[in-house]
Amino acid sequence: MPDQQKDATVHLSLDEVRDLAHAILTREGLGADHIGPVAETIVAGERDACASHGVYRLTNCIRTLRSGKVNPQAHPVVRPSASAVVRIDADGGFAQRAFDLGLPLLIEKARTHGIGLLAINHCVHFAALWPEVEAVVAHGLVALACTPSHAWVAPAGGTAPLFGTNPIAFGWPRPEGDPFIFDFATSAVARGEIELHRRTGKAIPEGWTIDADGNPTTDPEAGLSGALLTFGGHKGSALSAMVELIAGPLIGDMTSAESLAHDDGALASPYGGELVIAIDPEGILGDAAAGHVARAEALFTAIRAQGARLPSERRFAARRHTPQTGVDIPRALYEELAAFA
Amino acid sequence: MPDQQKDATVHLSLDEVRDLAHAILTREGLGADHIGPVAETIVAGERDACASHGVYRLTNCIRTLRSGKVNPQAHPVVRPSASAVVRIDADGGFAQRAFDLGLPLLIEKARTHGIGLLAINHCVHFAALWPEVEAVVAHGLVALACTPSHAWVAPAGGTAPLFGTNPIAFGWPRPEGDPFIFDFATSAVARGEIELHRRTGKAIPEGWTIDADGNPTTDPEAGLSGALLTFGGHKGSALSAMVELIAGPLIGDMTSAESLAHDDGALASPYGGELVIAIDPEGILGDAAAGHVARAEALFTAIRAQGARLPSERRFAARRHTPQTGVDIPRALYEELAAFA
CA distance, residue A232 to nearest chain B CA (Å): 4
- Of the listed ranges A178-187, A284-293, B159-168, B188-197, the one predicted with least confidence: B188-197
Decide if pLDDT at A6 tops 70.
no
**What are the pLDDT digits (tens) for B229-272?**
999 999 999 999 999 999 999 999 999 999 999 999 999 999 99
Amino acid type, A134: E
Helix axes A130-137, A32-47, angle to 10 degrees: 90
Amino acid at A121: N
Kindly tell me if the per-residue pLDDT of B32 is higher than 50.
yes
Instruction: Give the domain extent around B53.
Output: 3-188+229-299+309-340
Q: Does A307 touch chain B (CB under 8 A)?
A: yes
Task: Please check whether residue A224 lies inside any domain of the structure.
Answer: no
Per residue in A253-275, is it b (16+ CB within 10 Å) or e — as a string? bbbbbbbbeebeeeebbbbbbbb
Decide: B233 and A231 in contact? Cβ < 8 Å: yes
For chain A, the first-to-last Cα distance in angstroms comes to 29
Contact A55, A329 (CB under 8 A): yes
CA distance B175 to A68: 36
DSSP for residue B288: G
What pLDDT, in 10s, does the model give residues A145-159? 999 999 999 999 999
8 Å CB contact between B110 and A85? no
Record the pTM: 0.97
A36 class by beta-carbon count within 10 Å (0-12 exposed, 13-18 middle, 19+ buried)? middle
Is A211 part of a structural domain of the chain?
A: no
Residue A36 phi, psi (nearest 5)? -60, -55
Q: Which of A28, A34, A46, A53 is catalytic?
A: A53
What is the per-residue pLDDT across A242-265, written as a single tens digit (0 to 9) for each? 999 999 999 999 999 999 999 999
Has residue A195 been placed in a domain? Answer: no
Would you say residue B213 lies in a domain?
Answer: no
- Amino acid A55 reads V
User: Is A122 annotated in the active site?
Assistant: no
Q: What's the farthest any 2 CA atoms get from each other in chain B?
A: 60
Q: Which of A70, A12, A67 is nearest to A45 (CA)?
A: A12
Query: With an 8 Å Cβ cutoff, are B114 and A233 in contact?
Result: no
A123: which strand partners? A272
Contact status, residue A237 vs residue B235, Cβ threshold 8 Å: no
Please indicate whether, in this complex, the C-beta atoms of B299 and A81 are within 8 angstroms of each other: no
Question: What is the rounded CA–CA span in Å between residue B218 and residue B125?
Answer: 29
The whole-angstrom separation of Cα A228 and Cα A101 is: 34
Domain assignment present for residue A208? The answer is no
The CA–CA distances, whole Å, from B227 to B159, B244, B290 equal 8, 17, 45
Handedness of CA A296, A301, A302, A306 (dihedral sign): positive
The reply to whether A236 falls in a domain is yes
Q: Which of residues 95-124 of B touch A (CB under 8 A)?
A: 112-117, 119
Residue B10: which H helix or E strand, with range?
A: strand B9-12
C-beta atoms of B257 and A302 within 8 A: yes
d(CA A90, CA A97): 8
The secondary structure of A137-185 as a DSSP string is HTTT-EEEEE----S-BPPTT--S--B----EEEEE--SSSS-EEEEE-
Counting Cα atoms < 13 Å in the Cβ hemisphere of B49 gives 14
ipTM higher than the 0.90 cut = yes
What DSSP state is assigned to residue B41?
H
On the question of pLDDT at A16 being above 90, the answer is yes
Residue A214, domain member (yes or no) = no
Number of domains forming the structure of chain A: 1
Chain A partners within 8 Å of B81 (Cβ):
114, 283-284, 286
pLDDT at B1: 46
CATH of the domain at B270: 3.30.1370.60
Nearest CA in chain B to A189: B235
pLDDT, position A1: 46
pLDDT tops 90 at residue A52: no
Q: Is residue B176 part of a domain?
A: yes
- For residue A5, pLDDT beyond 60: no
Beta partners for residue B9, in sequence order: B330
Q: What is the CA radius of gyration of chain B?
A: 20
CB A153 within 8 A of CB A228: yes
